[in-house]
Amino acid sequence: MLSEIPMESRDTKGDLYEYLLSKIATAGQNGQFRTPRHIIRMMVDIMHPRPSDTICDPACGTCGFLVSAGEYLREIHSDMLYKSEQKEHFNNHMFFGNDFDATMLRIGAMNMLLHGVESPNISGKDSLSQTSADVREKYTLVLANPPFKGSLDYDSVAKDLLQTVKTKKTELLFIALFLKLLKVGGRCASIVPDGVLFGSSNAHVDIRKEIIDGHKLDAIVSMPSGVFKPYAGVSTAVLFFTKTNSGGTDKIWFYDMKADGYSLDDKRTPLDAGKHEENNIPDIIRRSNNLEGEANRKRTEQSFFVPVEEIRKNNYDLSINRYKEIVYEEISYDPPKKIIAELKQLEDEIQTGLAELEDMLG
């Protein structure tokens, strides 16, 4: 079957490789699992990578985020590949990825090459360690899905990260890392477990406070728990923020994603992607590109703004359920006497039926 596929096309080779990756159903030895490509593309479409960007994924795995960013640039900014300076940047200095799993590095580097990036900067590093602390304020865009629920010894973590947030939890350390990796004005989109949004420990509150008060938190897209099935059933969200070093959070845009175009069970069967109730992603992208139109949305709708003062009053809680308002429909019931009368009538019918059945059986 493979020998009959025309391999001259970059798109064909890249698509085939991605298809084969999608069939590797097992997670990595360190608990990595493949981020669904439609979720990656949603994040990329919201972030709008630019030809001048320097893009990093410090926990890159198979390089899905970097590949998707590259494909976006080829589609939206196709003219950049005809300009020698921008083409040089695209092939050699635009994409950076780290991972400490050698197998993932090989898969990721091959994925980048097959998708037409001639010299991607994919390296075998532990991004959180002191040995990686020399890479700071280098990138303009971070796209990532860092490891969840990991725990590290303080000794093995870069000291400047611990100064931002004193914790052993990898999901919090990676957020601190993103802030260190970005240049001022740099942007980040990262998948985080829901616990990051509402955890009450000092470390959880500190990292949320740092993003909100020290930088600019732009948006949170809450995702359903089935997005990562069959690998995991954890509830997640996408965090979007900009590094400013001077605050700037005014109001935060929330979106409650209920459907991503696939069934939310282990099979993840494709649904009718054209229907909003079965796929919210087109709506999320459209609304994120026109946030001015979201200003008057009510808290009962799927997306809305929350002013930063309200977030601060709630101990920097960022879970959407804290702010979403639920409309309860009033249901009217029959009076109790009427219900009892109906039950008696049903009981009489049952007794009559049983008596007839006894007669038939002799």
pLDDT at 66 over 90: yes
CA distance 132 to 120: 18
3-state DSSP helix/strand/coil % of the chain, to nearest 5: 45, 15, 40
pLDDT interval class at 333 (50, 70, 90): confident
CA distance 108 to 115: 11
- pLDDT tens track for 199-245: 999 999 999 999 999 999 999 999 999 998 877 788 999 999 999 99
Question: Which is nearest to 268 in space by CA: 6, 58, 103, 23?
Answer: 23
Q: Judge contact between 96 and 43, C-beta under 8 A.
A: no
How far, in Å, are 148, 159, 241 from residue 166 at the CA level? 17, 10, 21
Question: Which is nearest to 253 in space by CA: 309, 304, 208, 326?
Answer: 304
pTM for the full model? 0.86
Strands (E), the chain: 55-57, 95-98, 121-123, 139-144, 182-193, 216-223, 236-242, 251-256, 303-307
Q: Judge contact between 306 and 252, C-beta under 8 A.
A: yes
What is the DSSP annotation of 165-187?
Answer: ----BHHHHHHHHHHHHEEEEEE
Distance, C-alpha 235 to centroid of its chain? 10
User: Directed axis angle between helix 64-76 and helix 10-22, to 10°?
Assistant: 150
| Eight-class DSSP state of 199 | -
Q: Judge contact between 282 and 292, C-beta under 8 A.
A: no
At residue 131's C-alpha, the angle toward residues 128 and 137, to 5°, is 65
Task: Give Cβ neighbours of residue 173 (< 8 Å, ≥ 6 apart).
Answer: 128, 152, 157, 161, 165, 167
- pLDDT tens track for 75-116: 999 999 999 999 999 999 999 999 988 888 898 999 999 899
Q: What is the pLDDT of residue 326?
A: 85
- pLDDT tens track for 284-311: 999 999 999 999 999 999 999 999 999 9
